[in-house]
Amino acid sequence: MTRKFFVGGNWKCNGTVEDVKRIVCMLNNGEVPCPNHIETIIAPPYVFIPLVKSMLRTDFQIAAQNCWKGKGGAFTGEISAEMLANLHVPWVILGHSERRQMCGETDAIVAEKTAYALNQGLKVCLCCGETLKEREMNETNAVVCRQVGAVAGKIACWANVVIAYEPIWAIGTGKVATPAQAQEVHYNLRKWLDCNISPQVAQATRIIYGGSVTSANCKEIGSNPDVDGFLVGGAALKEEFIAILNARNYQH
């Protein structure tokens, strides 16, 4: 079974209306592989979603960077999965380490959010990843499997889930994982899915890498057998995102 190459652009908390227009223009003009070969998601801040949606080429899909864990209501400042579905936003990124670390999102909360969003018909880019300390203590696999395992306890179907492995020490630091480090964790995650969910889910689920991905390192990381694409932060705001979308040499 071949897994379609998957690339996400996570804009995080960046941009003005002018920046958004400029970046979308750049994306719209980029030459990228056709959707038979690649699935691309763009995750602007919530407030810019309608603007991006109105301008963005239709072969790129929109993602939110987060959503509330349950049904909407008296939750000041939150955005519900129903609202995203209502706006026809197909994807949501959940469990990003910045939210785990800065907004107190536990494994349990991320699992609850994932299950709820999937139930509302959204597709989920589920992030996991270890700190530098955890890596140095040889806990990387235990941590990512624990994070994914929490979600596994709450969902029955993996068809609409992409897993993003993002070592925290590599995010926004310019310190990218080596291709071998990425491959090892992706392989272990896939093995975990094989043993704990099913061989079919393990074979079909895309596992993408994030953390200082650039046009310079994407080809080498992306050529590993268990690396199915990228979640890109800083470089997603720049022209080089187009080069990252072309990391694999598909005919256009």
Reply yes or no on whether 37 is catalytic: no
Among 82, 112, 130, 166, which one carries the catalytic annotation? 166
Neighbours of 163 (CB within 10 A): 26
Residue 151 is inside which H or E element, if any?
Answer: helix 140-152
Alpha-carbon Rg for the chain in angstroms: 17
Q: Footprint of ligand PGA on residues 151-170 (CB under 6 A)?
A: 166
**Least CB distance to ligand PGA at residue 241 (A):** 10
Q: Decide: is 212 part of the binding site for ligand PGA (CB under 6 A).
A: yes
| Piece of the chain touching ligand PGA by CB under 6 A; list 77-85, 143-151, 195-203, 204-212 | 204-212
Residue (124 or 202) nearer to ligand PGA, CB: 124
Is the CB of 145 or the CB of 232 nearer to ligand PGA?
232
Helix (H, G, I), strand (E, B) or coil at 150: helix
Active site residue 130: no
State the minimum distance, in angstroms, from the CB of residue 98 to ligand PGA: 7
Q: Which of residues 125, 171, 237, 245 is near ligand PGA by CB under 6 A? A: 171
Q: Report which of 85, 64, 80, 87 is spatially closest to residue 13, judged by C-alpha positions.
A: 64
Q: How far is the CB of 10 from ligand PGA (least distance, A)?
A: 4
- DSSP state, 70? S
Catalytic residue among 96, 98, 105, 112: 96
48 burial level (CB within 10 Å; 0-12, 13-18, 19+): buried
Longest dimension (CA), the chain: 50
Write down the least CB distance from residue 236 to ligand PGA, Å: 7
Contacts of 65 (CB under 8 A, 6+ apart): 10, 11, 12, 43, 45, 46, 92, 93, 96
Helix ranges (DSSP H) in 42-89:
49-55, 81-86
Nearest to 3 by CA among 144, 196, 221, 190: 190
Taking CB under 6 A as the rule, does residue 172 contact ligand PGA? yes
Q: Which stretch binds ligand PGA (CB under 6 A): 32-40, 51-59, 115-123, 231-239?
A: 231-239
Using CB under 6 A, pick the residue from 7, 10, 40, 152 that binds ligand PGA: 10
Q: Min. distance of Cβ 140 from ligand PGA in angstroms? A: 17
Contact between 245 and 33 (Cβ < 8 Å): yes
Residues that bind ligand PGA (CB under 6 A): 10, 166, 171-172, 210-213, 231-235
Would you please indicate which residues are annotated as catalytic (active-site) residues? 96, 166
